[in-house]
Chains A and B, each alone.
Chain A
């Protein structure tokens, strides 16, 4: 299994600003993903973070709003840009050698005022 850490664990931000969330994995993994989870709700995949190339976004999510970087096999960032209160959510990073077996980080709890 992989141990995944995220920073920050939580933040309160003003609308119109941007926040970058970091995800660090303790071992080299093939796959890294970013999810959004509304409190008390299910998880929705935002994008697959690809090493050295542009992320693959799911329907409803765009690069301008959620730019993602993955410079190496163990690190990725997700930026939530030009935030609005609707972006208030929990953002989760997951990783694994295979996409079927994903291990999740603790999440970043974001509140946009």
Chain B
């Protein structure tokens, strides 16, 4: 059973556009939600993370929006650049637990 559901599977965005990736979870015990960026041939890199006590977190061009009541969170990449082309994974974990549950990934392509 997929603990974290992620969509879309792939996304093509024009340079300068906004990329939006969505995730949903069921387990209300999850209280930490990181996003990872993975380039081909590399390991995932921690991009940005949020806890459910805030509805939004912004770091540069990357913003996480969090809707606790809907159990959904999303990553927004503003002014998307070709260098942002990568696979993005959302994840969720309960504080103190070991298992970081990953979404299925979104392959983002930003075209010039």
Q: Write the residues of chain A forming the contact surface with B, with a CB cutoff of 8 angstroms.
A: 1, 4, 31, 33, 40-45, 48, 56, 58, 92, 94, 99-107
Contacts and interface: CB of A to CB of B under 8 A. Distances in A.
Contacts of B46: 1, 101-103
Interface of B: 32, 34, 36, 41-46, 49, 89, 93, 95-100, 102-105
Contacts, number: 55
Contacts of A43: 44, 89, 102
Contact of B98 (A56, A92, A105, A107): A56
A19 to B, nearest CB: 18
Contacts of A104: 36, 43-45
A45 B100 contact: yes
Given A42-B89, A42-B102, A105 B97 contact: no
Given A99-B93, A100-B34, A48 B105 contact: no
